[in-house]
Amino acid sequence: MTPFSLPDRFDDVFLDAVEARLRALPRRRITGDARRAAVVVPLCHLGTRPAVLFTKRTETVGTHKGQVSFPGGRVDPDDIDAVATALRELHEEVGIAPEGVRVLGAFHDVMAITGVAVTPVVGYVGSLDIGALQLSRDEIDEAFALSLDELVDPAHRQPQTLGTRVAPLFSAGPHPVWGLTAWILDEVLREGLGFPLAPLMSRAQALMDDG
């Protein structure tokens, strides 16, 4: 059971609070000459349930083949900022136009394993019919959404050891959400949406605590 209350909907009151939280967030920023990219963390409604939209990349894309990701990609020279990059990529990959997105704010920069500095942009894209999305078949195999209650359920939010770090893995959906996408998602749920999720522990830590 979730030990805190989730919103029934992404209404204006909740979205206003997220926007204010992101505006006040002391963002971690990556500076320097790293290659840049941006992604959208798309809050949505799946039927009547508040949810988050994900994509599964094809096996033919250049990087992160077959992995679950947020819509996004590299910064183009014509993009005025990370928000413009994220919205352009969202439109190109799943067909959601920029005017259909309420941008709530930018989040912490993160470094991908490929050496690309990624800026997540949190946005609300409204009610979705997943089957009606216009996917870019060269890049995206599938789109799916997971509801908030699925994402915060401890049975589906598990620790995964990546090198020396304990990272989250979300297992509620048709494909596991792991790696950089899961790291961004976990931080957005906690710091952007304000959900007091329990800290992740490695299996070794859990065994020590149980003992």
Q: 192 lies in a domain?
A: yes
Range of the domain at 76: 12-210
Q: 80 lies in a domain?
A: yes
- Taking only the tens place, the pLDDT of each residue in 40-74 is 999 999 988 999 999 999 877 666 666 899 999 99
CATH of the domain at 133: 3.90.79.10
Q: 7 lies in a domain?
A: no
Q: 6 lies in a domain?
A: no
- Taking only the tens place, the pLDDT of each residue in 9-25 is 999 999 999 999 999 99
Of 165, 196, 192, 191, the C-alpha closest to 178 is 165
Mean pLDDT of 81-86: 97
pLDDT number for residue 206: 41
Least confident segment among 29-33, 92-96, 139-143, 158-162: 158-162
Q: 36 lies in a domain?
A: yes
Contact (CB, 8 A) for 8 and 47 = no
Query: Going by C-beta distance under 8 Å and a sequence separation of 6 or more, which residues neighbour residue 82?
Result: 36, 38, 75, 106, 119, 121
Q: How far apart are CA 40 and CA 72, in angstroms?
A: 6
Q: 90 lies in a domain?
A: yes
pLDDT number for residue 205: 46
Q: 3 lies in a domain?
A: no
- Taking only the tens place, the pLDDT of each residue in 172-211 is 999 999 999 999 999 999 999 999 998 886 444 443 344 4
pLDDT number for residue 114: 87
- Taking only the tens place, the pLDDT of each residue in 175-184 is 999 999 999 9
pLDDT number for residue 3: 64
pLDDT number for residue 96: 98
Q: 4 lies in a domain?
A: no
Contact (CB, 8 A) for 57 and 105 = no
Question: Which pTM value belongs to this model?
Answer: 0.91
pLDDT number for residue 81: 96
- Taking only the tens place, the pLDDT of each residue in 108-165 is 999 998 899 999 999 999 999 999 999 998 999 999 999 999 999 999 999 988 777 7
How many domains does the chain divide into? 1
pLDDT number for residue 2: 63
